[in-house]
Amino acid sequence: MKRVIVGITGATGTIYGVRLMELMRTDPGIEIHLVMSKSAKLTLKMEHDLELSYINGLAHEVHDPGNIGATISSGSFHSEGMIVAPCSVKTMSNIASGNTGDLISRAADVILKERRTLIVAVRETPLHLGHLENLTKLARIGAVIFPPVPAFYNRPNSLMEIVDQSCMRMLDQLHIHL
């Protein structure tokens, strides 16, 4: 069984986290652990008509964002890695600086220290020098910086095709091929 941690933060683009879980649910060999920040729940209401119960139902286990003692915050919790999608600049900066005051940043920190794959789908633009320095710091310590930039060479016919292309590429980083 492959385990994947999904963190959803308050940045716009919550569809990325939701769609990642929908795609992974097609493989019964993947166990999904979800952490959503309080801000993510607010953003979700603005961006979608989806119920929180639906999103929670996509995960095998849902973790409270304030529970920094959750199983996923331990190096002994084996996983393929973690995807933070979307990743707010706040969360990205917390991870880069080792500020582990919430479960998303704590779990991400553990993923990095255990040399597992951490993917941060940063959804801010434009970026200033401080953002770029934090992203560089994350890349240096092993994170995959993955801004979900739309691809058009595949001539997408819908927004979901654009989202799916980014999500499938994120999953490729974890060696998950659906």
pLDDT at 149: 95
Query: Mean pLDDT over all residues of the chain?
Result: 98
Classify burial at 61, counting beta carbons within 10 Å of its beta carbon; exposed 0-12, middle 13-18, buried 19 or more: middle
Task: pLDDT band for 15, please (50, 70, 90 cuts).
Answer: very high
pLDDT at 155: 97
Looking at 25-148, list the stretches that DSSP marks H as alpha helix, in order from N- to C-terminal side. Answer: 38-47, 52-58, 89-97, 103-113, 129-140
* Maximum alpha-carbon separation in the chain: 45
What number is the average pLDDT over the span 41-48? Answer: 96
Question: 42-53 in b/e burial notation, b at 16+ Cβ within 10 A?
Answer: ebbeeeeeeeee
Cα angle value 172/173/178 (rounded, 5°): 20
Separation of alpha carbons 47 and 142, rounded Å = 31
pLDDT at 105: 98
CB 73 within 8 A of CB 66: no
> Cis link prior to 126 (omega < 30° from 0)?
yes
pLDDT tens track for 49-73: 999 999 999 999 999 999 999 999 9
Task: pLDDT band for 2, please (50, 70, 90 cuts).
Answer: very high
pLDDT at 104: 99
Domains, the chain, ranges and CATH?
2-173 (3.40.50.1950)
pLDDT tens track for 110-164: 999 999 999 999 999 999 999 999 999 999 999 999 999 999 999 999 999 999 9
